[in-house]
Structure 1
Amino acid sequence: MVRNRMPTPVPRTLEKALDLLRVVVEDGGQRSFSKLAQDVALPASTAHRLGVVLERYGFILRERPGRYLPGPWLMAFARRFDERTVLARISRPILRELSQRWRQTVHLGVLEDSMVTYLAKAAHGPAAEFTREDMQLEAYCSGIGKVLLANVSPAARARYLSDGPFVALTSNTIVDPELLRKHLEEVEVQGWAFDDAEVFEDLKCLAVPVMGADCSVIAAISISAPAPTFEGCRREQALAALRDAAVCIERRMAGRAFVASSLLAPRSKSPLLSDDPVVGCKSCGSQP
């Protein structure tokens, strides 16, 4: 029997304080504290009381009367955990689930200095030996790299394409800048990329983007596998699995719950889903 679970209520005072902290950080000391309080519909007296507590604990600091900045505690936390580190740690259990289900190697990568940097990896199958975390690979010939290049600004993409020559790693590698430009435009439109044995002769790779809170592409994830893995309907199954994993990462990064829907191929049931439909995603520990 499905149990009805009510979401845990957030204490109203805490919710008000977090709203106030958020607008202080976003504003960066540009507007008065009273104006920020109005933005979150707080009476001036309530905002003052909450501001005193936030300042006492180092969440905000007073720049001058009526102007506040992020406090030392927040800045210390930001120095300790950057987005790159958090993204890798959040992604690893999700990648492991996907890798175990497909019995193939799964990566998460970002674009750094025109190269793909692998931040997280779950190893399985023939591709397990060829990469490691923090390793870099050329972007133009990999699934993750194509997704990331397809989502930079047109000017940045043009600069990248003008920085050739591009080396053919296999007979399938696209090395002509004009052909590569058209290919990346197709990737941008379709929302996924395929490495058709362009890095290694006997391996192919399917990749999709991971979006940030501002809807920009912050990373990409991929499944690397022998060619038969992506034949027929299995490519669509793999795409669905990758997209669900990407959404799970996105929602974990944004602090929102997620229930996986199709991390089930090629079998009939996903290990990311509990037998109890109200439990949610096992990997990310979220609740529906």
Structure 2
Amino acid sequence: MSPRRASSEEKNNRYNVRVLDRAINILLTLADGKPRTLQEVSDAISLSPSTTFRLLATLSCYKFVQKDALGRYSLGLTCLELARAYYESNDLRKVALPELEALRDEVKETVHLAILEGTEVVYLEKLPGLHAIGLMGSRVGGRAPAYCTGLGKVLLAHLKAEEIEDFLRKQPLAPFTEKTITNPETLKCELEQIRKMGYALDRGEHEAEVRCVAAPIFDMHGAVVAAISISGPAGRMEPLDANLGLIERACQAARAISEKLGFRPRA
């Protein structure tokens, strides 16, 4: 998925500084890891090459970007240092990590921790499974559409009704696979069922050969703040609906993390 872009409301904020907006757009453009020439960066952010060059030169001074021998720009060392600082200071990740590691070691499949931001999930942690698998595109810091991932659906399911309607107005339900839910009413029914069950299933809706079980994480106020998932290839995860042991284990791990965050379920 593409990196986050500022909304129209955010762009129109009277406190925004235009040069910072432009510099941040450069960083967001390069966030997919693909090196780009000056012209490609210029085209991506809709600025003249001369203005783009000056912005890139400033970002290079602080090592936010770097240029290779072919003259292509990519993110620099400072971005890595900032990412590491965020990664190490994230309380949710630190609280969740022991449970995630135990879960991964037990089920031997890939485990994720993610939050909802706008219409997408953002991966805070990914612990690869103990079996080799090369078909999964998720990565720490990466994004995926919420409506067709287990993590995203379990997070959407706990939004208020008006928030779900707002989501559906903003997010076209484009098909990624033949299993993707593309009808808004069908998705709302699915979210209602997820809310009742306490977990979500991804039956190959985003990546055709990947299956996923996801469960919500609650904070001390009872709000859903994140979700975890167990993901693996269809050949090992199917039949997903009948894989009750895996579903229960995902829910147990999510409950354990929630309790560490201060959540106490009502009697």
Which bin holds the TM-score, normalised by the shorter protein?
A: 0.5 to 0.7
C-alpha deviation, 1:131, in angstroms: 1.3
Deviations 1:106-149 (A, max 9, x none): 00111112210111111114268521111111000000100000
Q: Secondary structure at the match of 1:254?
A: coil
Cα distance in 2 for residues equivalent to 1:226 and 1:255:
32
State whether residues 121 and 144 of structure 2, in contact with CA within 8 Å, keep that contact through their aligned partners in structure 1.
Answer: yes
- 2:260 maps to 252
Work out the percentage of aligned pairs sharing the same amino acid. 31
Cα distance in 1 for residues equivalent to 2:110 and 2:175:
23
Gaps (5+ residues) in structure 1? 1-79, 257-288
Letter in 1 for 2:127: A
Structure 2 counterparts to residues 52-63 of structure 1, below 5 A: none
- 1:277 maps to none
Structure 2 counterparts to residues 120-199 of structure 1, below 5 A: 120-124=125-129, 125=131, 126=133, 129-199=136-206
Instruction: Rate the CA distance shift 1:161–1:205 in 2: closer, same or farther, 3 A.
Output: same
C-alpha deviation, 1:254, in angstroms: 2.5
Cα distance in 1 for residues equivalent to 2:162 and 2:112:
27
Cα distance in 2 for residues equivalent to 1:128 and 1:171:
17
Letter in 1 for 2:155: L
- 1:20 maps to none
Instruction: Tell me the matched-pair count.
Output: 177
Max radius of gyration: which structure? 1
After TM superposition, which residue ranges in structure 1, 4 or more long, deviate above 3 angstroms?
none
Deviations 1:236-279 (A, max 9, x none): 101111122112212222299xxxxxxxxxxxxxxxxxxxxxxx
Letter in 2 for 1:202: E
State whether residues 127 and 224 of structure 1, in contact with CA within 8 Å, keep that contact through their aligned partners in structure 2.
Answer: no
Cα distance in 2 for residues equivalent to 1:216 and 1:230:
31
Cα distance in 1 for residues equivalent to 2:164 and 2:134:
28
Instruction: Rate the CA distance shift 1:233–1:170 in 2: closer, same or farther, 3 A.
Output: closer
Q: Secondary structure at the match of 1:162?
A: helix
State whether residues 104 and 127 of structure 1, in contact with CA within 8 Å, keep that contact through their aligned partners in structure 2.
Answer: no
Cα distance in 1 for residues equivalent to 2:92 and 2:142:
16
TM-score by length of 1: 0.57
Letter in 2 for 1:245: A
C-alpha deviation, 1:95, in angstroms: 0.9
- 1:104 maps to 109
State whether residues 112 and 228 of structure 2, in contact with CA within 8 Å, keep that contact through their aligned partners in structure 1.
Answer: yes
C-alpha deviation, 1:155, in angstroms: 0.5
TM-score by length of 2: 0.61
Q: CA RMSD in A?
A: 2.6
C-alpha deviation, 1:232, in angstroms: 7.2
Cα distance in 2 for residues equivalent to 1:133 and 1:172:
25
- 1:216 maps to 223
Cα distance in 2 for residues equivalent to 1:233 and 1:175:
21
- Select between 198-207 and 161-170 the one with higher mean Cα deviation: 161-170
Cα distance in 2 for residues equivalent to 1:187 and 1:232:
15
- Select between 168-177 and 231-240 the one with higher mean Cα deviation: 231-240
- 1:264 maps to none
State whether residues 208 and 220 of structure 1, in contact with CA within 8 Å, keep that contact through their aligned partners in structure 2.
Answer: yes
- 2:211 maps to 204
State whether residues 150 and 213 of structure 2, in contact with CA within 8 Å, keep that contact through their aligned partners in structure 1.
Answer: yes
Gaps (5+ residues) in structure 2? 1-84
State whether residues 109 and 120 of structure 1, in contact with CA within 8 Å, keep that contact through their aligned partners in structure 2.
Answer: yes
